[in-house]
Amino acid sequence: MSIQILVEKCTGCTLCLKTCPFDAIRMMDKPEGSGLASASQSHKKAVIDLNKCTLCGACVPACKFKAILLDKSTTCELPSNLKDYKGIWVFIEQKNGKIQSISYELLGKAHELSKKLNCEVSGVLIGNKMDDQLNELFFRGADNIYLVEAPELANFQDDPYTNILVELIKKYKPEIVLCGASAIGRSLISRVAINIKAGLTADCTGLDIDQDRKILLQTRPAFGGNIMATIISPNYRPQMATVRHKVFTPMDADKKRKGKIIRESFDSRLYFSRTKLIDIIEEIESTVNLAEADIIVSGGRGMGNPENFALIKELAQVLGAAVGSSRAAVDAGWMPYSHQVGQTGRTVAPKIYIACGISGQIQHLVGMQSSKIIIAINKDPEAPIFKVATYGIVGDLFQIIPALTNKFKEVLRK
């Protein structure tokens, strides 16, 4: 879209000036000798500051002299033929030569979506000496693997991985590209989207296919988590989305599945990186890893103060569980950010999630609603957490949590 002032029609009346909500219009002198200003016209003309203008069009109907032209046509080129784009791709994330579990989760979802599009699922694996892990990708939903290997690609770096994925997309034209919303995925896929001029929906919690239009429906929290928005990219390909760890469940391994390995290599100049990898240091967890835990005990604002989190930690220790918290508890300084579950924290999907004193706002539910069993403890019977809970306990958590802890101790001693 673009906007311009037709100088020969502008009378300098200032009507447009008053209607612009962004203060983007100024009155300037008309060029000398233009001969455009009659005795009845002002020697001023309207000028639009394009740094402020949002192309909202409010000024257009305000001009009685039709001196403002708003061109709504786009300057971006659409792909010549959207039908040339076929298949669903999953970027296979690997760290230190080991494929990360988020990749299996996305392959499982891609396999489900492919049935609605009647297409194949392909994984894109960049690394070095990864052959021993390829079969597991086929078992978990991949029909093809695009494999790019080189010693300099052993570990993720922005520039070479971006260059390779861009070239592969241009060559093979996938219809959909999915990537984990991990530190690696977020760093990579945004660069790829910019290079190929495609849209990207981040942190999706749901993916589906519009059966009529055969396009990807990408659902994610919006407006601070107060609504769930479904986003589409009908005019550009590929359709791209990132998904958090633990949002989807991997498909069961089918060891009868086989697939095709497509090996690709590129000019070594494509592997050049402006940065140098010095070392990889794994995060040291003092307790059970929150993202991988089978049981999580979380506390929220209802815990009252940081000292009361000792009750949560004791119960978690007895169960061999990880300790989580709501954003409210983290913002209050009661728990470190690494324990936060929710939209702006970790997404988890344990077998058992015990929510203590957590009201259940959408921001928190987004991060834990995929748990197999949810046990909620809250004194407010109307708390939203009870709408998603498998089991709910209404009462004083300062009495309930110690009672549960003692009971589990008794059972485990037997």
Same domain, 121 and 231: yes
Confidence of residue 345 (pLDDT cuts 50, 70, 90): confident
pLDDT at 173: 93
Based on the fold, state whether residues 232 and 334 are members of the same structural domain.
Answer: no
Task: Check whether 264 has a pLDDT greater than 50.
Answer: yes
How much is the average pLDDT of 21-47? 67
In-domain check, residue 281: no
In whole angstroms, what separates CA 39 from the centre of its chain? Answer: 60
How many Å apart are CA 199 and CA 242, to the nearest integer? 11
Shared-domain flag, residues 241 and 101: yes
Q: First-to-last CA distance in the chain? A: 73
Q: Identify the domain boundary among 48, 71, 94.
A: 71
The boundaries of the domain holding residue 254 are 84-271
- The domain boundary, picked from 47, 71, 95, lies at 71
CATH number at residue 348: 3.40.50.1220
Tell me if 387 is assigned to some domain. yes
* Structural domain contains residue 279: no
Which residues are paired to 81 by β-bridges? Answer: none
CATH code (residue 18): 3.30.70.3270
Do 246 and 126 share a domain, yes or no?
yes
* Residue pLDDT, tens place only, 100-136: 989 999 999 999 999 999 999 999 999 998 888 999 9
pLDDT 10s digits, 207-247: 999 888 888 999 887 766 667 788 888 888 899 999 988 88
The overall average pLDDT reported for the chain is 85
pLDDT of residue 224: 61
385-395 pLDDT, tens digit per residue, is 998 899 999 99
Within a 13 Å sphere around the CA of 405, how many CA atoms are in the beta-carbon half?
17
Same domain, 260 and 373: no
| 190 in any annotated domain | yes
The answer to whether the CB of 177 falls within 8 A of the CB of 155 is no
Q: Which backbone phi and psi does 129 adopt, to 5 degrees? A: 55, 60
Check residue 172 and give its pLDDT. Answer: 93
Q: What pLDDT does 11 receive?
A: 86
In the chain, the number of structural domains is 3
Decide the pairing of beta strands 260-263 and 295-299: unpaired
CB atoms within 10 A of CB 170: 10
Same domain, 306 and 362: yes
Same domain, 105 and 32: no
Please say if the pLDDT value at position 143 is more than 50: yes
Average of pLDDT values for 23-46?
65
pLDDT band at 142 (very low <50, low <70, confident <90, very high): very high
- Predicted confidence at residue 37, as pLDDT, reads 44
- Where do the H-state alpha helices sit in 123-157? 134-139
d(CA 200, CA 186): 11
User: Do both 166 and 198 map to the same domain?
Assistant: yes
Least confident of 1-5, 210-214, 288-292, 293-297: 288-292
Residues 6+ apart with CB under 8 A from 25: 16, 17, 46, 47, 48, 49, 59
Q: Checking phi first, is residue 78 left (phi over 0); if not, alpha (psi -120 to 50) or beta? A: beta
What pTM value is reported for the model?
Answer: 0.65
* Res 80: pLDDT: 56
| Same domain flag for 90 and 57 | no
Distances (CA, A) of 47 to 34, 58, 245: 16, 15, 50
Tally of CB atoms within 10 A around 209: 18
Kindly state whether residues 337 and 394 are assigned to the same domain.
Answer: yes
